[in-house]
Amino acid sequence: MSLSDMEVSADSLAQRFQQVRSRTLGLCGGLGAEDMMVQSMPDASPGKWHLAHTTWFFEQFLLGRDPAWQPRHPEWHYLFNSYYQTVGPMHARPRRGLLSRPALEDVLDYRRRIEDAVAERLEAGLDPAGAAIVELGMQHEQQHQELLLTDIQHALWCNPLHPAYDETLASAQTGTPAISMSYIDGREGIVEIGHDGRGFCFDNESPRHRALLQPHALANRPVTNEEFRLFVQDGGYREPSLWLFDGWATVQAEGWQHPLYWRDDLDSAYSLGGIRALDRAAPVTQISYFEADAFARWAGARLPSEAEWESAAAAQPVRGNLLDERAQLPRAATGEGLLQMYGDVWEWTASPYVSYPGFQPLPGALGEYNGKFMNAQWVLRGGSCATPREHIRATYRNFFPAQARWQFAGLRLARDR
């Protein structure tokens, strides 16, 4: 699908643009300049960089379409480009935490100036391709809102004091008992998956195509902390037969013994609300694909394919514990039927991140957005407690390498019938 083909509502675009931009700043409200500069590992980025990069995106791809546009700081193009090789070189990702200059106040001023310029373009009226770039930029920023939270959680966890991102979250534990796990039969035969062309989608969600599903069933809810705790206590991290070859090598090299933020007592974990008692009925989170796959094998089950997951989720409305709920941690499931398909935790699938049949990336530099990462990554589905509600849909394909574990990622089991 080309940018000009995307249908964008001009009436709501300016309002939504301001809402998205304001939410990003709101997520940084309790953070100081020192917090905003920390880069705790190469895969994470400082909060200040997130603020600048999402602004650079609008400047580069929208404002830069006008030959008369003159950037005030053209050298920042190098600092805040992420991976768009076709528009120029960029500062090395693992060294983003060394950017003490420009200062946070300068980045905030940059955001204001670019927002004003985008607002002027919106008021004057944009062609369909320009409006679609604004939509893409907002969706891009919503992705970075979640990354902001997961990256600052990792940074604060690395601090020996384990400070809370938001101390008011510390009392959010529900104490709701876990619903018994059961399996619900999924569809079988030929189904259609992928975006149907109505509304926004990323290029990797299309084209819609047919997939063949064998008889299978999905668990009614994600795996809980208590269930994963039993896996740990049963020696799951010490039994090589449960792990993929690279997974076992990673466990040995990294010394993994439990999910990322769990403490060794297996009764508490670090969260955005600080160290707190483990909610045993809530979905387990901050686990890698390797850990999800090993648990499924230990449980006598498997991970679902993304086609199985999407076929089940497509009939469900997008609701659940998402960023709009402001819980910012997974909560125990309630209700009947297939639960927590959206929100709480991203769910690892057994599907490698590859292109759909007939996939075409966006034209030009924006074609680098998704397609070039279709290598050595795995698909996750459903969103998390840090995903904005309007950002997620049944066809959404998130992706990370198998060893990544700092995201709000968990798992749902599947079985063959």
Give the per-residue pLDDT at 61.
Answer: 97
Neighbours of 88 (CB within 10 A): 11
Query: CATH number, domain at 221?
Result: 3.90.1580.10
Give 158-161's long-range contacts (Cβ < 8 A, gap of 24+).
158/40
Confidence category of residue 176, pLDDT binned at 50, 70, 90: confident
**Any alpha helices (H) in 222-323, and if so which ranges?**
225-233, 245-254, 289-298, 306-313
Residues linked to residue 55 through DSSP beta bridges, in sequence order: none
Q: Domain check: are 20 and 131 in the same one?
A: yes
For range 154-175, the mean pLDDT: 86
Smallest CA-to-CA distance from 200 within 399, 400, 398, 9 is with 9
Residue 309 has pLDDT above 80, yes or no: yes
For range 164-180, the mean pLDDT: 80
Q: Domain check: are 56 and 122 in the same one?
A: yes
- 55-73 pLDDT, tens digit per residue, is 999 999 999 999 999 999 9
- 367-402 pLDDT, tens digit per residue, is 999 999 999 999 999 999 999 999 999 999 999 999
Q: Domain check: are 325 and 213 in the same one?
A: yes
Nearest 5°: the CA angle 351, 357, 358 is 145
The answer to whether 285 and 409 have CB atoms below 8 angstroms apart is yes
For range 281-307, the mean pLDDT: 98
Confidence category of residue 1, pLDDT binned at 50, 70, 90: very low
Give the per-residue pLDDT at 35.
Answer: 98
Residue 30 has pLDDT above 80, yes or no: yes
Mean pLDDT of the residues in the chain: 95
For range 308-319, the mean pLDDT: 96
Q: Domain check: are 306 and 394 in the same one?
A: yes
Of 161, 196, 227, the position where a domain reaches its end is: 161
**In which domain, by residue range, is 250 found?**
169-416
Give the per-residue pLDDT at 39.
Answer: 98
- What pTM did the predictor assign? 0.96
Give the per-residue pLDDT at 304.
Answer: 98
Give the per-residue pLDDT at 329.
Answer: 94
Q: Domain check: are 116 and 153 in the same one?
A: yes
Residue 227 has pLDDT above 50, yes or no: yes
For range 224-251, the mean pLDDT: 98
Q: Domain check: are 79 and 177 in the same one?
A: no
Q: Domain check: are 145 and 175 in the same one?
A: no
Give the per-residue pLDDT at 173.
Answer: 59
Query: CATH number, domain at 103?
Result: 1.20.120.450
- 110-151 pLDDT, tens digit per residue, is 999 999 999 999 999 999 999 999 999 999 999 999 999 999
Percentage of the chain beyond pLDDT 70 is 96
SS3 content of the chain, % helix, strand, coil (to 5): 40, 10, 45
Of 140, 161, 182, the position where a domain reaches its end is: 161
Give the per-residue pLDDT at 2.
Answer: 43
Give the per-residue pLDDT at 15.
Answer: 96
Q: Domain check: are 286 and 350 in the same one?
A: yes
Give the per-residue pLDDT at 114.
Answer: 98
Domain count for the chain? 2
Residues linked to residue 270 through DSSP beta bridges, in sequence order: 275
Contacts of 335 (CB under 8 A, 6+ apart): 179
- 73-89 pLDDT, tens digit per residue, is 999 999 999 999 999 99
Of 115, 133, 161, the position where a domain reaches its end is: 161
For residue 319, give the amino acid letter.
R
Q: In angstroms, rounded to a whole number, what is the distance separating the alpha carbons of residues 112 and 14?
A: 15
The answer to whether 285 and 410 have CB atoms below 8 angstroms apart is yes
Say which residue, 170 or 54, is predicted with more confidence: 54
Structure-token pair, residue 413: 């089991």
Give the per-residue pLDDT at 10.
Answer: 61
Q: In angstroms, rounded to a whole number, what is the distance separating the alpha carbons of residues 144 and 149?
A: 9
The answer to whether 39 and 45 have CB atoms below 8 angstroms apart is yes
Q: Domain check: are 7 and 55 in the same one?
A: yes
Q: Domain check: are 183 and 244 in the same one?
A: yes
Q: In angstroms, rounded to a whole number, what is the distance separating the alpha carbons of residues 371 and 353?
A: 10
Q: Domain check: are 150 and 238 in the same one?
A: no
Q: Domain check: are 270 and 252 in the same one?
A: yes
Give the per-residue pLDDT at 171.
Answer: 63
